[in-house]
Amino acid sequence: MLSKKQARAFFLGGTLVTFLIFIGLTIFSLSKDVDQTNHENITEAVVRGKNLWDSNNCMGCHTLLGEGGYYAPELTKVIDRLNVKYNGSGEQVIKSILMSPVPWQPNGRKMVAYGFSNEEAEDLIAFFDWIDDIDLNGFGEVVGVDKSISPIARERMNNQ
Partner 1 sequence: MKYKSQKVAYWFFALSMALFVLQLIYGFIMGFAHAGFDGLHEFIPFNTAKAVHLNLLVVWLLSGFMGAAYYIIPEEAQIELYSVKLAYVQLISLAVVAVAAIIGFHFNIWEGRKFLEIPRGLDYLVVVNVLLFLYIILMTLYKGKRRTTTALVLTMGLFFAALLYLPGMIPFDSQVTDSFFRWWVVHLWVEGVWELIMGGILSFLLIKLTGVDREVIEKWLYVIVGLTFLSGVLGTGHHYYYIGVNKIWLIVGGIFSALEPLAFLAMALFAVNMYRKGEKKHPNKLALYWTLGAAIVSFVGAGLLGFAHTLPQTNLYTHGTLVTAMHAHLAFWGAYAMIVLAIISYSLPNMTGRKLYDSSRGRMAFWFSNIGMVGMTIAFGVAGVAQVYLERIMKIEFMEVQKMVEVHFYILIICATLFTTGIILYIIDFVKHGRPTDEALEVHS
Q: Would you tell me which residues interact with partner 1 (CB under 8 A)?
A: 2-4, 7-8, 10-11, 14-15, 18-19, 21-22, 25-26, 28-30, 34, 36-37, 39, 42, 46-47, 50, 53-61, 63-74, 103, 106-110, 112, 127, 131, 134-139, 142-143, 146, 149-150, 152-153, 156
d(CA 135, CA 35): 9
What minimum distance in Å lies between the beta carbon of 149 and partner 1? 5
Q: Which is nearer to partner 1, 96 or 112 (CB)?
A: 112
Question: Whole-angstrom Cα distance, residue 150 to residue 160?
Answer: 16
Q: Tell the smallest beta-carbon distance from residue 90 to partner 1 (Å).
A: 14
Residue with smaller CB distance to partner 1, 99 or 132: 132
The shares of helix, strand and coil residues in the chain, as percent rounded to the nearest 5, are: 60, 5, 35
Angstrom distance (rounded) from CA 48 to CA 35: 22
Q: Which residues contact 118 (CB under 8 A, 6 or more apart)?
A: 95, 99
Q: Which is nearer to partner 1, 12 or 119 (CB)?
A: 12
Q: DSSP character for 63? A: E
Q: Identify the DSSP state of 68.
A: E
Least separation, in Å, of the C-beta of 117 and partner 1? 16
In the complex, minimum distance from the CB of residue 97 to partner 1, in angstroms, rounded to a whole number: 13
